[in-house]
Structure 1
Amino acid sequence: MGGFGRYLAAALAARFANEGMGMAVVLLALERTGSAAHGAFVLTAWLVPNVLAAPLAGAAAARTRRPRLFHVGALAGFTAAVAALALLLGRAPEPLVFAVAVLGGTCGPMVTGGMSSLVTGLVPAGPGRDRAYGWDASTYNAAAVTAPAVVSLVAATVSAGPAMGVLAAATALAAALAATLPYEDRAAGAAPLGPLAGAAAGLAALWRVRELRAVTAATTVAFVGIGSLTTTSVLLATGLGSPGAGGVLMTAFAVGALAGSLTLGRMTSVAPGRLVRWAMVGTGVALTAAAFTPSVAVTAALFAVAGVCDGPLLTATLRIRAEYAPDGVRTQVFTLGAGLKMTAASAGAALVGLAADAPAGLLLTGIAGLQFAAALVHVLTVGRGPAPTGAVTEPSAGFATTPTGRRSAGAP
């Protein structure tokens, strides 16, 4: 577990930087150019390739014969891009700034799903690995709580440039820690899949393995709502007479999610599929109640409850991916799943922007409805008869997937 402890430190540092980028870029653009919109454009340039690169990044990580170099290199590229943006944004020509953002964004999938895919090689299968995914999920939540606060504090006391520097230092630390982790080098004669074939194999696994298809479809639907929650919280707080309290609501949600991942997310006695559905329904119920409260304080409390319910969702999702993803495409499954969720969240943010004139309570009710719909999608998808036999074949010798996606030695 010593290696897993270093992994957690690396994951937390990397995800801290990833979570802080949105606020840091906007604050830096506002400070140097007077335009928050310019920061939004740079952030878009950072996020779009993050989504598009997910399939190829996962395939490349799975086929490389030097996984340590690949993972550390991705983190180093992320570091270099953050540091370059800290120096160039608002000072260099815009095409150069956008190009740097695009290049940095291509490293993003390895910070999220790509790193989570390493857990299976660090912790043996069983309850211990399930708990490990609970800790891994908590790094996302801890980063979501701390990164915006640290960025805001440093930007307010010094400036936004040093705030970006803090994020670059965090990813540099993550790269250094990742270099110390144990990796399994692939044999020279393994004949790995090419990037495009590997990406296609990952997509095939997500579709053909019933449990993977169910959790991917359900979380994609849910994250259309979660992606619109930040903007909706601002509109909701404004309607309650406290325009600046939107951040309070989202902080309450993030703190609740961290608590949920560290408590409910570690319930290994509950099947992960059932935990997925409970998490979505609980989040939907709490957000529905929050849409009709008369004060910011009560709304914040319900946002915290919604976060507690949402916290175990990521843990359960990671457990399902680890258990059912074939060995040869596990990294692709993790990065593709993360990419699809990010795409859904981006779509949700765009949709709520178009509907910003609607009553905030109605928007929040719609977000809650998406959580209920996601739970229903999971029930309907995972509840259909057996998955097709021979759905996914693992490249690793002596192993193939059973109809449920579980690995069995010597299967034909």
Structure 2
Amino acid sequence: MGGFGRYLAAALAARFASEGMGMAVVLLALERTGSAAHGAFVLTAWLAPHVLAAPLAGAAAARARRPRLFYAGALAGFTAAVAALSLLLGRAPVPVVLAVALLGGSCGPVVTGGLSSLVAGLLPAGPARDRAYGWDASTYNAASVTAPAAVGLVGAAASAGPAMAVLAVSAALAALLAASLPYEDQGAGRSPDGPRAGLGAGLTALWRVRELRAITSATTLAFVGIGSLTTTSVLLAAGLDRPGAGGVLMTAFAVGALAGSLTLGRMTGVAPGRLARWGMAGTGAALGVAAFTPSVALTAVAFAVAGVCDGPLLTATLRIRSEHAPAGVRAQVFTLGAGLKVTAASAGAALVGLAAAAPPWTLLLGIAVLQLAAGALHALVSAGAGVPPEGATERSAGSATAPAGPRSPAGP
């Protein structure tokens, strides 16, 4: 298996474990304590560190003298936290469990954006790398489809404890595979001969580089809606007299997203910014239609179409980060972008909880409007941005901390 093949296997295994945690934690808490709320608190502790740990994780990745040790070690810590929670949740004192969840969640930015930042060092710039980001995006979507299903099946056949143990084994496999990647031959996020970028360099790049500012602001806004989609789908299904069918709607969305990332996401001839805007607009339009469909079957079709449109958005986002992030802060840009999206999704989940008494179709319509607004925001912020010349993105870490003015290095 080549370097990129091993990377994909590591990314899929790590993201499988990450995607399964939400369901596994709640099921295990319900099984051992009789309270799903207990699981929700643990899950909050697991997700909360993402945005705070993101700049630290990105800076540590960029400064690591032994990137193999950093990535394998972070994934090993992630594995240890999952395994510890499978043993401690519902048995150990709550502060201990929450502390373990916080520590494990701090490794989350490496599983998401951190791993994706490695792709630029495994393949040369060009269509091959663009297609590689399509495959990388598909690992997120594949994990979101398979992990909850696997947790549910193992939990039903045995119990929630073994289900979480499956996630720990998957995370351990990711750590082993990460240790085998050819880090010595790539410089994703490192610039040994240049000055080291500070903790704020990634945030500076996200703001000063127009393309990064556009995609980050747009996807953060979009994910406020995406984060509330799961709860809304449950409420929508109940409103259609099919309680329990919310999972069907979300599965349709996830399968559609996987199909979209493997097809539309591989359209390397389309500029990633344009692909991102099309994706957000299409997702918003399809969810807007779903708000008015009269049956779960038709709603599931609309959710699947929305997923197909959402699938290439992640591919486009990864391509934009890779093309426009200065080399010295690439890992920070990836981890910060992922952390902001996770935080936005958490905020969306909280907002829909407060508005749960509203008619479900209005909630879904609100999510659709957020996707359309995100597409419009991207178009507005990126107006006038150009495409960087060949090699312009492979700059040193020094240029990361002080891009030339508040404009994109590629254009006005």
Deviation, 1:376, is 0.7
Cα distance between partner residues in 1 of 2:64 and 2:202: 15
What secondary structure sits across from 1:199 in the alignment? coil
Tell me what 2:397 maps to.
395
Q: How does 1:16-95 map to 2 (within 5 A)?
A: 16-95=16-95
Label 1:125 to 1:393 Cα distance change in 2 as closer, same or farther (>3 A): closer
Tell me what 2:409 maps to.
405
Contact map agreement 1:394 1:401 (CA 8 A) in 2: no
Tell me what 1:219 maps to.
219
Cα distance between partner residues in 1 of 2:127 and 2:322: 12
Would you say how many aligned residue pairs link Structure 1 and Structure 2? 402
Q: Residue 404 of structure 1 aligns to which amino acid in structure 2?
A: S
What secondary structure sits across from 2:182 in the alignment? coil
Q: How does 1:358-369 map to 2 (within 5 A)?
A: 358-369=358-369
Tell me what 2:326 maps to.
326
Post-superposition CA distance 1:359-409 (Å, at most 9, x none): 10000000000011001101110005789xx9x9842699996763359xx
Contact map agreement 2:201 2:401 (CA 8 A) in 1: no
Post-superposition CA distance 1:137-191 (Å, at most 9, x none): 0000000000000000000000000000000000100000011101138899747
Deviation, 1:88, is 0.5
Tell me what 2:345 maps to.
345
Q: Residue 109 of structure 1 aligns to which amino acid in structure 2?
A: P
Contact map agreement 1:17 1:170 (CA 8 A) in 2: yes
Q: Unaligned 5+ residue runs, structure 2? A: none
Label 1:53 to 1:398 Cα distance change in 2 as closer, same or farther (>3 A): closer
Tell me what 1:13 maps to.
13
Post-superposition CA distance 1:256-305 (Å, at most 9, x none): 00000000000001000000000000001100000001100000010000
Tell me what 2:275 maps to.
275
Cα distance between partner residues in 2 of 1:28 and 1:399: 45
Deviation, 1:5, is 0.3
Tell me what 1:239 maps to.
239
TM-score by length of structure 1 reads 0.93
What secondary structure sits across from 2:356 in the alignment? coil
Q: Residue 372 of structure 2 aligns to which amino acid in structure 1?
A: F
Contact map agreement 2:386 2:410 (CA 8 A) in 1: no
Quick check: 1:229 aligned with 2:233?
Answer: no
Q: Unaligned 5+ residue runs, structure 1? A: 408-412
TM-score by length of structure 2 reads 0.93
Label 1:349 to 1:311 Cα distance change in 2 as closer, same or farther (>3 A): same
Post-superposition CA distance 1:341-375 (Å, at most 9, x none): 11110111010000000110000000000011001
What secondary structure sits across from 2:198 in the alignment? helix
Quick check: 1:162 aligned with 2:166?
Answer: no
Tell me what 1:177 maps to.
177
Q: Residue 405 of structure 1 aligns to which amino acid in structure 2?
A: P
Label 1:397 to 1:384 Cα distance change in 2 as closer, same or farther (>3 A): closer
Q: Residue 30 of structure 1 aligns to which amino acid in structure 2?
A: L
Q: Residue 298 of structure 1 aligns to which amino acid in structure 2?
A: L
Q: Residue 70 of structure 2 aligns to which amino acid in structure 1?
A: F
Cα distance between partner residues in 1 of 2:239 and 2:81: 39
After superposing the two structures, state which structure 1 stretch, 44-53 or 212-221, moved more.
44-53
Tell me what 1:308 maps to.
308
Q: Residue 43 of structure 1 aligns to which amino acid in structure 2?
A: L
Deviation, 1:192, is 4.9
What secondary structure sits across from 2:244 in the alignment? helix
